[in-house]
Amino acid sequence: MITGYACAFLRRHDEALVAGAKAIALAPSSWSAYHMAGMFHCYAGDFRKAAVYAEQAQRLSPLSITHSLAEEARARFHLGDFAAARDIARRVLKARARWLTAQTTLIAALWNLASKDDARSAAKELLAEHPNFSVSRWALGLPYRREDDLEALIAPLRSAGLPE
């Protein structure tokens, strides 16, 4: 899994996907193998498989559910299911209120649902908790294969008022 994580962030997505598949083959009951493989698929642009793997990770370890829920919310966002992304992100934030992945996914989902006031309010809350947050710095840590996928997530953050 470490190899896959490193490959994903080096933007060697095909190698990350192979590492994720190997981790699942070696430990088919490991929630973390499914969680990481789901993350690799999300960054590689296969959002359906990312959501399926995130759901499997949740079934395997309800105690670690927030990790997989955050990844599922992002996958659902990219699949265009903004209501599910919003609802899942809110669920994550109930358990871990400062989780940036869930906060940014929530803001982007709200914006795309035309809940612009709610998105702006969530952006203000994010900045209150993370005053040094910037969209461009956040985007650097998201190793999407396709620039369009990254832009789909970060454009609503800018629109909701988060600083560049």
Structure token digits, residue 96: 């871990």
Give me the pLDDT at residue 63, please.
Answer: 77
Give CA 116 to chain center in angstroms: 20
- Separation of alpha carbons 25 and 93, rounded Å: 32
pTM: 0.94
Q: What is the mean pLDDT of each run of 10 residues along the chain (164 residues)?
A: 92 97 96 95 98 95 87 97 98 95 98 98 97 97 97 98 98
* Domain annotation for the chain: domains and CATH numbers: 2-159 (1.25.40.10)
Mark out the alpha helices in the chain (DSSP H runs).
2-9, 13-26, 31-44, 47-60, 65-78, 82-95, 100-112, 116-129, 135-140, 147-159
